[in-house]
Structures are given as structure tokens and as C-alpha cells.
Amino acid sequence: MAPRRAGIGHARRTCYSRGPTRQPPLNPMLHRAPTIGVLSFQGDFAAHAQTLERAGACPRLARRIADLDGLDGLILPGGESTTMLRFLRAEPWFDALRDFAASDRPLFGTCAGAILLARVVTHPAQASLGLLDITARRNGYGRQVDSFTARIAVDALGPEPLEIVFIRAPVIEAVGPGVEVLATYGGRPVWVRQGRIFATAFHPEMTDDTRVHEFVFDLKPSS
């Protein structure tokens, strides 16, 4: 497990929205940290928020469609994908999330969030956003009792191995021609991207290592 970096993101960081009701600070030398939303109906959204803070971003818990306004990126966290679907269907979230993806801002799904992004979901089949050209098999790495951790090399993150945590994780069974595989485990993709849309089968927020979030959202933590 990578050590936490002391003081990340707090020294000279300030947060403000890009929306019409908020203004940037008067001091232009202050760094505006990106505001990254975390869909917060259910699941491990709090852990993502803490990781974003350590990585130098300003997290915003998104429970209403209006909470997407002014965000620089968005996370669909792990949890229970069928439960999340019930919330997404209660309001026009499908349209809102597709519009968000079309705006070319980073969209990142972890575990259940990856299932929601997938073009095809199996075991069993379920509705999804269809924004990422992958086939995701639910609970492909086993049930809750089969949870485990591993360490893998990820070229995009440098020489230090990345610790990955699998909890009821989906298997990415297939990827389309426009999907880049950023990391594999056991010969299968576990971190993929298609343009500005990213997905991991594992939970990057469950360790102290912030590199995955930094890479996805192009964060540059303060020293």
C-alpha cells in the first residue's frame, strides 16, 4: 500500500464552481483545484471524496442532477449497481450522464460504476448507460466473501506497483476497438479508457494510493 503524501492538496488550494453563481478568487495566484463530483446515491462515495481531497481536488457529492453543474469530472462509485439503477431511473439521470460524457469531461466508473458505464452487462443482463464499449460480467471475481487484493505494474503510473482491491468486482470480458487497456490482472483488463471515459474493475479508493484518481482527472497535487 502506497504511503499517504503529507499535506496533499491543502497548502494553496481553493475551490469554486465554474457555474454562473460563483466567482473565482480575487487573487490570481491562488490555484483553483478541479471540482470532481461523486455520484452519492449508494456505495463507497465517501471514500472517493477522501481520496480526491488527498489528490488535490475538491470533491462534491452529487445527489441531484443540478449538482453536475460546474463539475470538472465525475465518479460513478462502487456499490450495488441494481440499487443505483433505481435512483437513476427516478429522474432523467441517463440523459444527464450521457450529456456529461458528451461534454468531454472525465467520467470514471469503479466496480459497480464500471457496470453502469458498460455497453453490455451479463450475469444477469441489466440496463446500463452504454457509454463505454466493454462487456462487464457482474460478480465475475466472486461474491463478497471472495474479496481480495493484489499488486500489479501499471506503466501509466510509473515504476511503483499499484495495490488493487476487488470486492464483488465485475470481470471485463471484452473491449471494443476504441478502448485502451491501461492495466490487466490475470490476463484480463481491469482498468480501461475510451476517450475521457474510464473504468476500473477494482476499487482505487480503498488504499492510500491516489495515482489512479490523479491520472483520470489530470490532478497535480500541491507539494
Burial of 181 (0-12, 13-18, 19+ CB in 10 A): middle
- Residue 212 identity: V
Determine which one of 48, 53, 58, 111 is catalytic.
Answer: 111
Determine which one of 58, 205, 213, 214 is catalytic.
Answer: 205
Grid coordinates standing for 189?
483488463
Closest CA relative to residue 171, chosen from 122, 223, 101:
122
Determine which one of 53, 203, 213, 214 is catalytic.
Answer: 203
Q: Decide if 58 is catalytic.
A: no
Cα distances (angstroms) measured from residue 200 to each of 13, 23, 31, 197: 28, 34, 29, 11
Grid coordinates standing for 25?
478568487
Give the residue numbers marked as catalytic: 111, 203, 205
